[in-house]
Chain A
Amino acid sequence: MRAPSRPLGAALGAVLALSLSGCGSSAPEGTGQVKLTLWHNSADPAPLLEMYKKFEKQSGHKIELVSIPSDGFEDTTQTKWATGDRPDILEYHATVSGLLALNPAENLRDLTGEAYIARSGDLYQAAGSVNGKVYAAITGFPQVFGLYYNKKVFTKAGLTPPTNFAELAAACPKLKAAGVTPVFESGGSIWPVQILPILYLAGANQSNAYGKAIAGHSSTLADAGSPFVSGLTAYAKLKTDGCFNKDIVTAKFEDSMKALVTGEAAMVAQHSDMLPALLAAAGGDQKTVDESVGFVGLSSDKPLVTYAPGPIGTFYLPKTGDAAREKASLDFVRFMTGPAYAEYVAASKTFPVFKDVPDPQGVSSVLQDVKKAYDTGAVIAFNSDIPGMGGLAQLMSELIAGQKDPQKAATQLQGQVEQAAKAAGLPGW
């Protein structure tokens, strides 16, 4: 075997030296600037992306954005997370059930002492925290779930939008007689069909009482006559009564938005973060949306909206063991929750989560309806604190297909909750 020739050896040496210099620290030593990896939801709105750039400019740190598709967001994040890969900053759900699945005590930094928590009211009583420790920095207004309705359709039919399930059931035949689909459900996208039963349960979940009872195992979803079984029964009855669109099994979420804006359907149960999709369905015409679409709260027996802290603008700081990067990522949280936050609220035209930041100007009339309904009566989604509820949407598909009755679906879901609660080591299981 011949030794490499001198030029070849020199070239190999140069490549090796370059390779070694490329490893490890991503910024020159001593500058205090580091590269932070941020796993973020691909649905982050432009004003939020702009905030990331502003932080780079102000701090001198570099943010490498790793975009996780919003379609399948939870699955993809879990998959990356399971490999042991950790970003410096993670944008993810603020619900306790979502948080538990990240094994926070082991993997996330405790942010309990940070200043933004005191300014957030009682937000962290129900979100972003486990066992008294706060792990999340929530900057996005919660997703507010309720009933979008077409104002023109209701005016023409001489009806007012329903705020409880009895009114909803009563409105169905009248709307059908007027030639419109009363409620448009999009089973082809799977997840939207769980919204109506969750709205129903707001009536039983004041102060998160029902959610706590299920998570603490003092009640089960499958108890005879439980609120959950009643919710599924009420949903099944609406289906039997023909309140839903014929293509409920195959229709996609985008179809529901279009049907609502055009007046082909009278109502769609959805949440407030879907307003951009509603605008897209109206061809980007905000005036059309404002003129035709309104929003009300709905539950089993009273006008309540259901809220759940969403993933957009909710940040966690995973433990990485790198002191410089951990300091910089904490700076990021302080930036996002600091003075720059008011700018973000004004630019994004969403409502603030901090008491000392004023509401934005020029908010669309639908979003004003959302805020009004939220201020009138808001209850956290009953499933926010319960791990293992991810199977609800799949079970709703089986309920719609007539494969499961409400009691059987509740029993099966209770099994999934038990599986997750035991895995999470929740007290009482």
Chain B
Amino acid sequence: MVMRNRAAWLPWALPAIVLVTVFFVAPFLLNVRFAFSSWTSFRAEITWNGLENVRTLIDQDLLANAVTVTVLYAILCMAIQNTVSLSLALALQRTSGINTVFRSAFFLPTLISPLAAGYIWRGLLAPDGAVNSFLGIEWAWLGEPSTALVVVAFIDAWKWSGLITLVYIAGLNSIPKALLESATVDGAGPWTRLRRVVFPMLAPALTFNVAVTLVGALSAYDVIAATTGGGPGDHTRALNVVMRQQWGQGFFGSASALGFTVTLLVIATAVPLVWWLRRREVTG
């Protein structure tokens, strides 16, 4: 019975399999060799050089910092976006005129180009910008090592929270009302309903949102490039920022090794995370 069902699903899954194969698996397999090659702009021949690119990046103090910055940034983005979006979704769950206006307002930043969003925020957060004028302080939000990474993560969250909120609202609205009413009749208060009924039933939305925000932030480039360019120093120099710098200097093999590192990070993070969250969906 199960096998027959699986066979029946195959035609429906086929377009997705083809798309993933053509646009992800095949390019990945065709290009992964460059991460282990001597490819530079300085000469025509490209030879296999094993882990030389990785060794060079380690010797130049570039790799460890880039991985740390990328992982920290991804965790910050995921935490901020999901906290903000879940709160917004709970506040805006009911479909009403005023809520629709707010939903649209929070969704608007999703439509703006990440680079444009970055440039706008860079202006607002400049030492003599609007934010400091409003607060009456003088602080280089994007220029101080203590705040730069967190602030860029907030900008990323501002940009994408509207979309994540919509997914949470859809999840909230799919919870059967009867279930919540039964819980109320059984004496459950708002907090208990939230903890015992709403959160467990939101598990599929949570799986999607956590995975999407984390994986998206692991491959961050645009918002960082537009706001700090990787600075101050190397405090926001994520993997893709270093990749761009290596590429710009003609070190294509090293740049490919950094791209490969991003892919490894995404696979190493997303696969166990989704597996674990899916298990919670079944048992929760």
**A contact residues vs B (CB 8 Å cutoff):** 72, 74-75, 78-79, 81-82, 100-103, 106, 187-188, 190, 246-247, 249-250, 387-388, 390-391, 394, 397-398, 400-404, 412, 415-416, 419-420, 423-425
Contact = CB atoms under 8 A, between A and B. Distances in A.
Consensus secondary structure, chain B interface: loop
Contact of B127 (A187, A250, A390): A250
B143 A250 contact: yes
Interface of B: 38, 40-44, 56, 59-61, 126-128, 140, 142-145, 229-235, 244-245, 247-252, 254
20 contacts: A78-B249, A82-B247, A103-B41, A103-B42, A187-B143, A246-B127, A247-B127, A249-B232, A387-B42, A391-B245, A397-B230, A397-B232, A398-B234, A401-B232, A401-B234, A401-B235, A415-B56, A420-B250, A423-B42, A424-B40
Contacts, number: 107
B250 A401 contact: no
Given A249-B143, A412-B60, A425 B249 contact: no
Nearest to A403: B233
Q: Give 3 closest A-B pairs by Cβ, nearest first.
A: A401-B233, A249-B143, A75-B248
Contact of B56 (A75, A103, A246, A419): A419
Given A423-B43, A424-B42, A403 B234 contact: yes
Contacts of B41: 78, 81-82, 101-103
Given A103-B43, A394-B245, A425-B43, A250 B126 contact: yes
Given A391-B249, A397-B231, A250 B42 contact: no
B252 to A, nearest CB: 6
Given A81-B41, A250-B142, A416-B60, A388 B249 contact: yes
Contacts of A82: 41, 247, 252
A79 B247 contact: yes
Nearest to B41: A101
A4 B75 CA distance: 59
Contact of A103 (B44, B143, B232): B44
Given A394-B245, A423-B42, A190 B229 contact: yes
A69 to B, nearest CB: 13
A319 to B, nearest CB: 12
Contact of B250 (A101, A106, A403): A101
A251 B103 CA distance: 36
Contacts of B233: 397-398, 400-404
Contacts of B140: 247, 249-250
B108 to A, nearest CB: 27
A395 to B, nearest CB: 9
A426 B250 CA distance: 16
Given A190-B231, A394-B234, A398-B233, 12 more contacts: A75-B247, A78-B249, A101-B249, A106-B44, A397-B231, A400-B232, A401-B232, A412-B60, A416-B249, A420-B42, A420-B249, A423-B250
Nearest to A248: B143
Contacts of A402: 233
B169 to A, nearest CB: 37
Contact of B248 (A74, A103, A398, A412): A74
A87 B62 CA distance: 34
